[in-house]
Amino acid sequence: MRLKDQVILITGSTTGIGEHMARRFIQEGAKVILHGRDAVRGQALRKELGEDKAAFCQGSLEDAAYPEKLAADAIVAFGKVDALVNNAALTIRGRIDTTDAAFFDRMMAVNARAPMLLIRALLPELKKNTGVVLNIGSVLAHCGQANMLAYSMSKGALMTMTRNLADSLGMDRVRVNQLNVGWTLSDNEYQVKIGDGLGEGWPERLPPSVVPMGRLLMPEDIAAACVYWVGRESYPVTGTVAELEQYPIIGRYANAEGDEKK
């Protein structure tokens, strides 16, 4: 019960990593505010988790006015908010030649602007409760793939915001940290990679250089790590950006000697 009596808002929590966070946080004694765009899915998950332990808020983070409403609704749900997990993100593919202004603005609105506006709206509540923000970033923030230009840029912006706010909000006892997540095998990722041309069963065909530990990260692995960062155990640490991947992200150079096991 590492999160006993905490109330945690998780954006984008009706599927994938966010859903696994919600399940794990409740197991650890928390109450959660689910968020997503699909009301049917959200309400079904709330019912499954228990209506005394989970609330659901529906809305699109592309709407600049919505984060303020989401913050207010989250506080009403259980009377307080102790932690915010900015997990929701668009992962739409786009190279430089297909990334126009509208595409870029949409990506930044959900992945960078909405987290900032949510923190802004919840700040009085977080100050009152010695609260914590956990931003879910990506290792792609450091460079990224050619077909994920805008996404990589948005996660770079999120990373800078994490450090900036950790510094500026420290005197208010509000902590802000970030997990840069590596390649994670969610249901959505499986389908996306089929669309990218990898074919059915692709996770079993990945080379050892990609999965030296024998498998990709799973959503439950990320959820387990998040328990520490949203909980009181990680106090007073703030401003940390931690990579969750199975090899070093910075400075790694692919083996060119013909033996991937060395």
Please choose, from the candidates 88, 86, 157, 171, the residue with its C-alpha nearest in 3D space to the C-alpha of residue 121. 86
The answer to whether the beta carbons of residues 44 and 38 sit under 8 Å apart is no
Structure-block tokens of residue 155: 């996660």
Beta bridge partners of 54: 32
CA distance 39 to 56: 8
- Could you give the residue ranges of the DSSP H alpha helices within the chain? 16-27, 39-49, 66-78, 101-108, 114-128, 149-169, 187-195, 219-230
Structure-block tokens of residue 173: 């006892």
CA distance 234 to 144: 29
Phi, psi (rounded to 5 degrees) for 137: -100, -155
Catalytic residues: 151
CA distance 153 to 129: 32
CA geometry: angle 78, 241, 115, nearest 5 deg: 45
CA distance 44 to 14: 9
Task: Map tokens 């106090």 to a residue.
Answer: 235
